[in-house]
Structure 1
Amino acid sequence: MSTNTLDSLVARLTDLDVNHKNLSVAELVEKVLSREEGVLSSTGAIRATTGTYTGRSPKDKFIVKDEESQDHVEWGSVNQPISEDKFENLFHKVIDYLEKQDELFTFNGFAGADEKYRLPIQVITQFAWHNLFANRLFIRPSKEELENHKAGFTVVSAPHFKADPEVDGTNSETFIIVSFKHRIVLIGGTEYAGEIKKSIFSVMNYMLPTKNEVLPMHCSANVGAEGDVALFFGLSGTGKTTLSADPSRSLIGDDEHAWSQNGVFNIEGGCYAKTVNLSAEKEPQIFNAIRFGSVLENVILDENREADYDDTSLTENTRAAYSIDNIDNIVRPSRAGHPNTIIFLTADASGVLPPISKLSKEQAMYHFLSGYTSKLAGTERGVTEPQATFSACFGSPFLPLPAAEYAKMLGEKIDEHNSEVFLVNTGWTGGPYGEGSRMKLGYTRAMVQAALEGELKNVETVQDEFFGLHIPTECPGVPTEVLHPKKTWADKDRYDQQAQDLAKKFHENFKQFDHVTKDIAEAGPTFKG
């Protein structure tokens, strides 16, 4: 497919008279309601449901294999290849389908708060609420920026168009296809808005390292009153959004960042927070951010249109999308200096990892490459209960390049800026999932605060017998016995077995990283196999 052909297809789509270009939030809300795509909640937020797909569909994600991508992308089950011919044929079908729609919506904005590295993007959607979602999640341009905007990447979302796997080369009716050569993301067969957000993150994970030598990161970030910067790495459900929304610190962003020679910057202009069990008492910043212009996804409303965040009858992966401006204490623009503290978050469903531990440089590299957590119900299609999973760099579904390339960049930056690294377990204590209990948020907040404020620098530590992690013997605001997971279990022998089982899983997973140095390879659990 030629570039001219592609340009003509995009022009056909964007120049339609029925298109709604860069509507205001109020106009988009009106469209959502008039088209019956969603309803207003009691706070003025739009509530929409996504049908069958209430989470990402990783098995339906593809990258076009061509001369641009073939030598850079790590091909496999995460980055599945699709031919240019298949992409061209499917793209033609989608355009033909969308041209028959009465209304289409476009949003022009940016990914990347640092103007030196930002990517101009265009999001074309079949649904008004998807365009509202894009308006909330990406960086909104000024009037002058909009007049001079030229998209460097275009997302086309046609949720009601379904692929024919036998003809189109997909695995199902659903598809998320990225063409780095033609700067197009094609989405169809799914109404889950998160695919729009994450497709652009995948794009940035390719373009920032290869084009700019900048490290993209699946993490949240905030900054203290003294200018100290903290990063929070972790997969969905581990607490990135919750823990970074700290009233005593200014939020840089909740999910996607990049680390350049100038410091850290947010890739997005909004937040996409999990809302299961959300309350004003536990997470006031997030709770109060959900107001007019925000989007509630798959959240149940009661008879008074009040959100019932405890009701997970549609999915546990209920979400809220809102502008970062809805958070009172934010950094404007969303940039800051180099990180002083880096926190790896995991939600360990086996209940054996310590709630906080200090990592050496080698342990930091080991656990960054491992990216362990328990995949929580509802974050992906087909996941109904927690599953132990390893996701390199805490974000392998979004990494087009080999994980080692991102890890090498992180290691170099930790060395250069002398960043301290901690592993924090927000998962289970006193037993595994179903028997123990989730770590109290208050305890986790206290541990994170102690790490950020340097209160753990000189605290005595003990080394965990299975994982080699250095556990502080005390932490302000946290009972001593909570810091040592084995002490919270009634059955100590069963704890040992669970810990040994998890250590084995770490070892099996890390075999794929046979190129790392010996000191990093030996920084993991002391598996007694």
Structure 2
Amino acid sequence: MNTLTNTNELSQLLTGVNVFQNLSVPQLVEKVLSRDEAVLTSTGAIRATTGAYTGRSPRDKFIVREASVEEKIDWGAVNQPISSEAFDQLYHKVISYLKEKNELFVFKGFAGADERYRLPIQVVNEFAWHNLFAHQLFIRPQGDDLNHHENPFTVISAPNFKADPAVDGTNSETFIIISFEKRTILIGGTEYAGEMKKSIFSIMNFLLPEQGIMPMHCSANVGQEGDVALFFGLSGTGKTTLSADASRKLIGDDEHGWSNRGVFNIEGGCYAKCINLSAEKEPQIHNAIRFGSVLENVVVNEDTRAADYDHVFYTENTRAAYPLEAIDNILTPSVAGHPSAIIFLTADAFGVLPPISKLTKEQAMYHFLSGYTSKLAGTERGVTSPQATFSTCFGSPFLPLKANVYAEMLGKKIAEHEVDVYLVNTGWTGGEYGTGSRMKLEYTRAMVQAALEGDLQHTEMVKDEIFGLQIPLHVPGVPDSVLIPSSTWENQEAYKQKASELAAKFHENFKKFSSVPNEIEELGGPVFR
């Protein structure tokens, strides 16, 4: 089956009378409820459940091995290859399956808020609630935008279609397959809506670097003077909390591109975790969950239809999807200038990284490649002490290219635009998890504010003897006593042992970057051997 055959099959599918394209939010909500796909909550949001799969299925994600991408993809556990023949076979099966549906839903829009670089996309859904999710998460067309919607990258999502691994070449009944040559993402066997969002991010991580644009898994905001800040960090490090600042406008909370003109949001909405969500702690997210928003796997009271964000009956990975416009104080459109500051966030449960330190370009590339944070004791069965976790470029599951491609782009942009880069530890101080204490949020906020306002550019610094990081001796609003991690530990030998242990983990993890210049580790990594 060639590309033309695939295109014709899709065109025939989408010309049916049962295909609804770009329905409005009220129309989609009506469809969702009439089809019994979800329930209406007390705030007007709809709540859907996703069955057996309440998160991403990384073992079921594939990229078609095609001549045009063969030498570019970083093949391995993250980017598993599958043949064109297997893709075409599944494609034909999925299209045939969808032809039998009474209704289908199509969203046509874009990825990329900057019109100069945006990617036309279309999302074909078996479920109306998935189409509402796509409508809220991606960039919605305005005016005559769809007159310029040629050759879109298509997501085809058929959750109730299940693969046969023995016949279809998959690892399970679930599959997420990207074909770059056929500009198609095929999803089946999972109802988890996040697969659509992250698949689009994955293809942007492939396509944008070819245009000289750096794709980034980060949040971004902008100050009153137009100063842009980027926040990189894994789950639990405070990325969403710290980028939500009443004095700065939000550009986006998760995915961005950095072109030669500046930063732009890839998405048109937010996909926020809402476990333990409260109006007091995270008012922006809480208030955004209203009519048109999509809740995933959140427990809802049968009588009052009120959401119970503290309950984990379905999963801890409860989610809320809503458009950016549901948040106050956003930048419209989501396009800004070059960053003046980059913040790498880590929650170090070993208690040995400084609460804030200034990075050289090489250190920035090293810590970007490392993407370090830590799992805490008790979060998983068998985890009895903090465990180091590394996610390349703070987003390893979504990187089709080799890691050095993204790191080199970061290094060049830092140098070209003279960006200040800081590593901020939102984790433990005075000892590791269980002995020390979590860094106070008010101190972290003060340190981030000082970094963004330029207060640390000329302050006195001292070099950490193990990690080689430059630590400020004074930060407005923060006691000097908490800035040097070793001084917060009562037992200095215990501190050195724990710091050396973490440094060794950094070195061990970095061995996988065989294509990265040695100078990045030599100049950017821990100095302890």
TM range (shorter): over 0.9
2:350–2:386 Cα contact (<8 Å) kept: no
Query: Residue 487 and residue 316 in structure 1: after superposition, are their counterparts in 2 closer, same or farther (change >3 A)?
Result: farther
Cα deviation code 1:11-57 (max 9, x no counterpart): 13312221221111111111222222222222211122222222211
- 1:395 alignment counterpart: 395
For 2:20 and 2:98, the matched residues in 1 are separated by 13
Shift of 1:441: 3.1
Residues 67/482 of structure 1: CA separation in 2 closer, same or farther (3 Å cut): same
Inter-partner Cα distance in structure 2 for 1:248 and 1:260: 25
- For residues 510 and 276 of structure 1, do their structure 2 counterparts lie closer, same or farther at Cα, with a shift above 3 Å needed? same
Tell me the residue number matched to 1:206.
Answer: 206
Task: Please state whether the residue corresponding to 1:62 is helix, strand or coil.
Answer: strand
In the TM superposition, residue 471 of structure 1 has moved relative to its aligned partner by 2.1
In the alignment, what sits opposite 2:501? 501
Distance 2:328 2:218 in 1: 20
Aligned in 2, Cα 1:385/1:22: closer, same or farther, shift over 3 Å? farther
Mapping 1:367-382, distance limit 5 Å: 367-374=367-374
TM-score of the superposition, structure 1-length normalised? 0.93
Alignment match, 2:462 = 462
Does residue 525 of the first structure (1) align with residue 521 of the second (2)?
Answer: no
What code does the residue aligned with 1:425 have?
N
Q: Does 1:313 find its partner at 2:324?
A: no
Q: Residues 213 and 132 from structure 1, CA distance in 2 versus in 1: closer, same or farther, beyond 3 angstroms?
A: same
Residue of structure 2 equivalent to 1:35: 35
Q: How does 1:352-363 map to 2 (within 5 A)?
A: 352-363=352-363
Bigger shift: residues 182-191 or 459-468: 459-468
- Change in 2 beyond 3 A, CA 1:162/1:432: farther
Residue equivalent to 1:70: 70
Q: 5+ unaligned residues in a row in structure 2: which ranges?
A: none
Q: Deviations over 1:246-278 (max 9, x none)?
A: 111011111111111111111111111122232
C-alpha separation in 2, matches of 1:94 and 1:369:
38
Match of 1:181 in 2: 181
| TM-score, with length taken from structure 2 | 0.93
User: Is the 1:229–1:336 contact (alpha carbons within 8 Å) kept by the matching residues of 2?
Assistant: yes
Separation in 1, partners of 2:374, 2:233: 11
Matches within 5 A, 1:504-515: 504-515=504-515
* DSSP-derived class of the 1:30 partner: helix
Letter of the 1:282 counterpart: K
- Note if contact 1:507-1:527 (Cα within 8 Å) is conserved in structure 2: no
CA contact (8 A) 1:54 1:378 kept: no
Letter in 2 for 1:163: A
Q: Deviations over 1:307-333 (max 9, x none)?
A: 332323332222211111112211111
Identity over aligned pairs, percent: 69
SS of 1:187's equivalent in the other structure is: strand
1:280 Cα offset (Å): 2.1
Sort the Cα spacing of 1:52 and 1:350 in 2 relative to 1 into closer, same or farther, 3 A.
farther
Moved more, 474-483 or 353-362: 474-483
Q: How far has the Cα of 1:492 moved from its partner?
A: 4.8
Mark the CA change 1:442 to 1:318 in structure 2 (over 3 Å): closer, same or farther: farther
Does 2:286 correspond to 1:287?
Answer: yes
Q: Secondary structure at the match of 1:332?
A: coil
Find the aligned partners of 1:219 and 1:501 in 2 and give their Cα distance.
28
Mapped contact 1:356–1:472 kept (Cα < 8 A): yes
The aligned runs of 1:6-45 (5 Å cut-off) are: 6-45=6-45
For the pair 1:232 / 2:228, whether they are aligned, the reply is: no
What is the aligned residue count? 526
Deviation at 1:179, TM superposition (A): 0.2
For 1:464 and 1:311, locate their aligned partners in 2 and report how far apart those are by CA, in whole Å: 42
Distance in 1, matches of 2:218 and 2:185, equals 23
Quote how far apart the aligned CAs of 1:379 are: 12
Q: Deviations over 1:378-407 (max 9, x none)?
A: 999x99998532222111211111111111
Further displaced range: 121-130 or 476-485: 476-485
Structure 1 stretch displaced more, 274-283 or 180-189: 274-283
Q: Output the CA distance in 1 between the equivalents of 2:288 and 2:510.
A: 40
Aligned to 1:97: 97
Letter in 1 for 2:231: F
Q: 1:277 to 1:385 in 2, by over 3 A?
A: farther
Query: Match for residue 347 of structure 1?
Result: 347
Please say if 1:4 is aligned against 2:4.
Answer: yes
Shifted more, 313-322 versus 510-519: the winner is: 510-519
Q: Structure 1 pair 199/485, CA: closer, same or farther in 2 (3 Å)?
A: same
Q: Does 1:415 align with 2:415?
A: yes
* Partner Cα separation in structure 2 for residue 126 and residue 55 of structure 1: 19
Pair 1:363–1:5, CA change in 2 (3 A):
same
Show CA shifts across 1:172-228 (max 9, x none): 111110000000001111111111001000111111112x12111111111100011
Specify the SS of the correspondent of 2:295.
strand
What SS is found at the alignment partner of 1:92?
A: helix
After superposition, the Cα gap between the structure-2 partners of 1:232 and 1:378, relative to the gap in structure 1 and judged at 3 Å, is: farther
Matched residue of 1:101: which SS? coil
SS in 2 for 1:73: coil
